[in-house]
Amino acid sequence: MRTATRVTVLTGAGVSAASGVPTFRGANGLWKQHRPESLATAEAFARDPALVWEWYAWRRSTIAACRPNRAHEVIAAWGRRYADFTLITQNVDGLHEAAGTRHVVRMHGSLWELQCWNRCAVAPARWEDRRADFVELPPRCPHCHGLVRPGVVWFGESLDPEVLRQCDAALDCDLFLTIGTSSVVYPAASLAPEAKRRGAYTVEINPDTTPASATLDLAIQAPAEAALDAVDRSARIS
């Protein structure tokens, strides 16, 4: 990291786990007996918007009490240190921004943004709303009074073409780190291998092995907080 000039970081849920953000994976991944896959879809919202919004309101309230951890802080410091630095995240919690990272490519949107379900002509495509609690569920569009949905990418939906363009541009780097991600969700899982194909030195940091572990240049099996703190300290040794 002392010699790299173009650095790209991809983060997943493992980066926010130490802050108390639920990962919704494994045995503890249920909410009121519902799996995220059954709630985070356009079909679920059309069928029962109040239930879907109850889940998202709970998530917003939970995450509002969370604070950035050491991993977020190190990544934010890298963003200030390197002139050519890109952070791509699969997370929707906003903790990278809270830690001070100025520009974040949010692959899956933001929990703190809303968009009109009717796509009315008056409302912007998405707008920020930091409320942790809503008086009415589901909330309504302030312009057409129709339903609003969370500004996130649901299962079965395509990613924003501009987001994909920014991700592709960031793969032309010297160093690519994938941190706290399972490397099973596409297109995010394809980024590190493609960066390596283009000549980047690729590093994975994750507590568990993933499908990418054996294919990248270096795999560090450790939690994000501890690993990033150690990597950052080592990189700053002259």
More confident residue, 3 or 68: 68
Supply angle C-alpha 7, 236, 77, rounded to 5: 55
SS3 13: helix
Quick one: pLDDT at residue 29? 52
Kindly state whether residues 58 and 166 are assigned to the same domain. no
Kindly state whether residues 29 and 61 are assigned to the same domain. yes
Kindly state whether residues 57 and 131 are assigned to the same domain. yes
The active-site residue, picked from 34, 96, 103, 108, is: 108
SS3 31: strand
Mean pLDDT, range 220-230, rounded to an integer: 95
Report the range of poorest mean pLDDT among 34-43, 110-119, 129-138, 211-220. Answer: 129-138
Question: How many structural domains is the chain composed of?
Answer: 2
Quick one: pLDDT at residue 126? 83
Domain of residue 208: give its range: 1-21+68-108+159-238
Kindly state whether residues 3 and 104 are assigned to the same domain. yes
Is residue 108 part of the annotated active site? The answer reads: yes
Structural domain ending residue among the three candidates 97, 118, 152: 152
Kindly state whether residues 166 and 202 are assigned to the same domain. yes
Quick one: pLDDT at residue 96? 98
User: What pTM value is reported for the model?
Assistant: 0.91
pLDDT tens digit sequence for 81-99? 999 999 999 999 999 999 9
Report the range of poorest mean pLDDT among 74-83, 99-108, 114-123, 146-155. Answer: 114-123
pLDDT tens digit sequence for 138-163? 999 988 999 999 999 999 999 999 99
Kindly state whether residues 198 and 233 are assigned to the same domain. yes
By percentage, how much of the chain surpasses pLDDT 90? 76
The CATH number of residue 56's host domain is 3.30.1600.10
Q: Please state, rounded to an integer, the average pLDDT across all residues of the chain.
A: 91
Short-list 63, 65, 70, 71, CA closest to 92 = 63
Kindly state whether residues 56 and 118 are assigned to the same domain. yes
Kindly state whether residues 200 and 171 are assigned to the same domain. yes
187 cis-preceded (ω within 30 degrees of 0): yes
Strands 109-116 and 148-152: antiparallel
pLDDT of 53 higher than 80: yes
Kindly state whether residues 53 and 166 are assigned to the same domain. no
Kindly state whether residues 210 and 164 are assigned to the same domain. yes
| Structure-token pair, residue 85 | 């630095």
Q: What is the DSSP letter of 167?
A: H
Kindly state whether residues 28 and 137 are assigned to the same domain. yes
